[in-house]
Amino acid sequence: MKRQFFMAPAKGGGILGQAPKKEEIEKALHPGEGLPGGGQLEIRMEVSSEHPDPDVLEVARRFKSYNLESWHSEWMRVAEKNEELAAGFEREQRKVTAHEFYRRAAHFYRQALVYMPESDPRMLPTYDRLKQMFDRAWSLVSPPFERVQIPYEGHVLDALFYPARGKPGARFPVVYNYAGADGILLRGDEGGAGANQYVRRGMSFIDVDGNGGTLRLKKLYAPADSERVAKAVIDYLIRRPDVDLNRIAIHGSSMGGYSAPRCATAEKRIKAVAVWSGAYSLREDIFDYYPPIQDRLRWLIGARDLAEARKKIAEFTLEGRADRIECPLLVGY
């Protein structure tokens, strides 16, 4: 049986179909100019007709490619549906099921939110809905994490610490997640940023808010010298009695593929680094290479316009610093 996949719509329309011709792909996939997220606003590049989640499949069927309004409205629709279902299960005292549907709602609100610019008046209300769903979900069952607050240069960074399972009183290795450009701490998907994969393997995990409430509510922008953030996080970790001080690692993806190695150039308490989508220079590797994401990066680094952003993002480089990384470094793509 020949498999069928969701693709960017080819000439003639249709949601399910065979792979389009090369010229149709070029036409459909590359005109992302002026769109927040650019080519990322195409769910069907990731979702096939065999995806197990009916709500995600429904979004894929209804969604208009590269259309931010459609992206937001379709994810909001399934988020609100799951929120309503969760509330019904909660009224019936079905706490575990309600928890699962509140988490689904949180995940879908995050999807609706993730590519919205700061100028969109719906951005903060959508973030608030995400937070409400996350908090409600974990009020019904015991969470696998501790909510912590980390002092950082006169501010506070919110974080979730997932402790390793093991002998009480023992110290465990810990992995620090340095989020990318789309990183939002409050997630509805399982484990959040891969926490479960580490915890199951005897490691603790700390997920620190970078671009969620930190950016949207506190207006703390991403620094080029990300080791400043790492210092604050590791200062917190070494005060914990359950952390092995000699086994602190960091991982990052997307924009974190620059930030995590940059942390290791100066913060020698980091003993291992793993990244995917590693970036040596954010200006060359991301900003200039992929123009549709430029305005988003402008916001993340706190620049007023694209001209200032291009100048400022030149500081986000490992040039002259990469040789200071002394610990093992794994780079994947």
CA distance 277 to 305: 26
Side-chain-side CA neighbours of residue 24 (13 Å): 11
Domain residue ranges in the chain: 143-280+318-333
Tokens of 35: 């769109």
The closest alpha carbon to 70, from 48, 102, 44, 52, belongs to 44
Q: Beta strand 155-162 with 204-208: parallel, antiparallel or unpaired?
A: antiparallel
Given a cut of 60, is residue 20 above it in pLDDT?
no
Alpha helices in the chain (DSSP H): 22-29, 54-62, 68-91, 95-113, 123-140, 195-199, 213-216, 227-237, 256-266, 282, 294-301, 306-312
Predicted TM-score of the model (pTM): 0.84
CA distance 248 to 232: 14
Highest mean pLDDT: which range of 7-16, 24-33, 160-169, 177-186:
160-169
Predicted confidence (pLDDT) per residue in 154-181, tens digit: 999 999 999 999 888 999 999 999 988 7
pLDDT band of residue 5 (cuts 50, 70, 90) is very low
Given a cut of 70, is residue 305 above it in pLDDT?
yes
Given a cut of 60, is residue 213 above it in pLDDT?
yes
Tokens of 28: 């459909």
CA distance 316 to 302: 13
Which carries the bigger pLDDT value, residue 259 or residue 6?
259
Tokens of 292: 């549709």
CA distance 264 to 271: 8
Predicted confidence (pLDDT) per residue in 318-333, tens digit: 999 999 999 999 998 7
Predicted confidence (pLDDT) per residue in 256-275, tens digit: 999 999 999 999 999 999 99
pLDDT band of residue 292 (cuts 50, 70, 90) is confident
Interval 53-60 mean pLDDT: 90
Interval 8-34 mean pLDDT: 49
Is 143-280+318-333 CATH 3.40.50.1820? yes
